[in-house]
Chains A and B, each alone.
Chain A
């Protein structure tokens, strides 16, 4: 039971991270029908930006500012760096191809992904960096329920993931921008006919999705401690998998898909073997593609009358 609960906490942590990545995938797909394969690398850059702030303020063992402030700053830096990067990518890699056949921006996305990975390799080198969270926050602090222990860092990560998703939900459902985003996702030309500046809505979508990915990057750095140039590849694939399982284009779907992938990964690592965790996660993708290709919350492609 104790082991089960421990895996559950692991799964929720991972699930929060994958959900945040999946949201960016799904939102961009919803509006542009584009699979933004550079999204995982945007997340990688966010993780590095958080690391940069950590180092700039003296490193994990002996930071010059209070740890809470430091972690907040790391999150802000990761979200800002990824957000700006996402907007720049949209402007230079996708917007010029707005009216090209759908395959063209897809290839452009793969190109941007390679570019970012290799740029990080060139500038930062291939070695793993560690946030060294254990030296920053005593791993023994946290909640203790009988045999179950949840470290304070995991609590912070799970709560901030939930908070970001609540904010996103309110933004999309309640605000004028959110309504414009939903309208544009459904029918871009009709949205333009309402006076919505579709280009600005697309930029906002990239910004929001990338900010979430940047937050996810810092979260992964804090919990799993390993930051490197290639980390966006598998994480991006899993975010994509989560988005597809949830129903690509659907925001609640991305959240549920991310949670499902995180739990599947944690439990297969815990009960079977961590060797097989990716096999099981991507096996899940194949099962969904065969049995329910539109995902949990997806709507079938509307038939235009």
Chain B
């Protein structure tokens, strides 16, 4: 089976600093994969490389069999990628509706059904649809960032630290929604520091350490891995 998303031996630099070193990973269609790792391990860079915000110095990025290494971000999004960025990055001075519209920026035609789908998932956003995004609470902003990404009808959703800065009850809610979206057949690559929570919903996982993949496997196996337990799982 052709992987939906594949990084093949990707190297990236930030100025002189070597960030990702021969990183290879795959996400199959409809699969939920988590990418674990500590601070500055290169997790966000990996997602930005998938999306084309960061360009690799070597290696290839493939999306649904197509080599998109040199393709602009807009092309990748048009083909079916979307991201829920770190810290949500909602457009604070714009309304909730406008934020959602921007999520569908590359799509033409009627968005009515998509708005309904997002508002079904997040009724709170419907209540606040005419409010400025900057006035929402952290949890609501996370919903908005999710909804905004879903507006492009992605086949592949990239999520950067969806639990960051959220109260524990909201973290659980957030992961429940990720699981729901996954159940609809969307491939997901989720970057997390909250390894327990991520492994509990993921099919497979990768562990990144200072720019290298040091461990990978089915989520259930990783959850029992002794090294990983000591390093990240706090057990």
How far does the alpha carbon of A187 sit from the alpha carbon of B101 in the complex, in Å?
A: 16
Are A179 and B53 touching (Cβ within 8 A)?
Answer: no
Which residue of the partner chain B has the closest CB to A200? Answer: B74
**Cβ-based interface call for B77 (8 A):** yes
Within the complex, the shortest CB–CB distance from A193 to chain B, in Å, comes to 5
**Cβ-based interface call for B93 (8 A):** yes
Among B85, B87, B92, B105: residue with most chain A CB under 10 A: B105
Known: A186-B93, A186-B94, A305-B87. A196 touches B53 (CB 8 A): no
How far does the alpha carbon of A162 sit from the alpha carbon of B61 in the complex, in Å?
A: 50
Residues on the B chain within 8 Å of A190, using CB: 85, 89-91
Which residue of the partner chain A has the closest CB to B133? Answer: A186
How far does the alpha carbon of A197 sit from the alpha carbon of B148 in the complex, in Å?
A: 17
Among A180, A182, A186, A302: residue with most chain B CB under 10 A: A186
Residues on the A chain within 8 Å of B103, using CB: 194
Known: A192-B53, A194-B105, A197-B74. A182 touches B152 (CB 8 A): no
Residues on the A chain within 8 Å of B148, using CB: 194
Within the complex, the shortest CB–CB distance from B106 to chain A, in Å, comes to 4
Which residue of the partner chain B has the closest CB to A304? Answer: B87
**Cβ-based interface call for B78 (8 A):** yes
Are B85 and A193 touching (Cβ within 8 A)?
Answer: yes
Are B91 and A186 touching (Cβ within 8 A)?
Answer: yes
**Dominant secondary structure of chain A at its interface with chain B:** helix
Are A179 and B98 touching (Cβ within 8 A)?
Answer: yes
Known: A179-B102, A196-B74. A187 touches B91 (CB 8 A): yes
Determine which of B74, B93, B165 lies in contact with A195 in the assembled complex, contact meaning CB atoms within 8 Å: B74
Are B94 and A179 touching (Cβ within 8 A)?
Answer: yes
**Cβ-based interface call for B4 (8 A):** no
Are A180 and B93 touching (Cβ within 8 A)?
Answer: no
How far does the alpha carbon of A203 sit from the alpha carbon of B93 in the complex, in Å?
A: 22
Are A197 and B91 touching (Cβ within 8 A)?
Answer: no
**Cβ-based interface call for B83 (8 A):** yes
Among A192, A194, A299: residue with most chain B CB under 10 A: A194
Q: A186-B94, A193-B89 are in contact. List 4 more A-B contacts (CB 8 A).
A: A176-B101, A182-B91, A195-B78, A302-B92
The 19 sampled A-B contact pairs (Cβ below 8 Å) are A176-B105, A179-B98, A182-B91, A182-B94, A182-B98, A183-B91, A183-B102, A186-B91, A186-B94, A187-B89, A187-B91, A189-B53, A190-B85, A190-B89, A194-B105, A195-B74, A195-B105, A195-B152, A305-B87
> What is A's interface to B at a CB cutoff of 8 Å?
176, 179-180, 182-183, 186-187, 189-197, 299, 302, 305
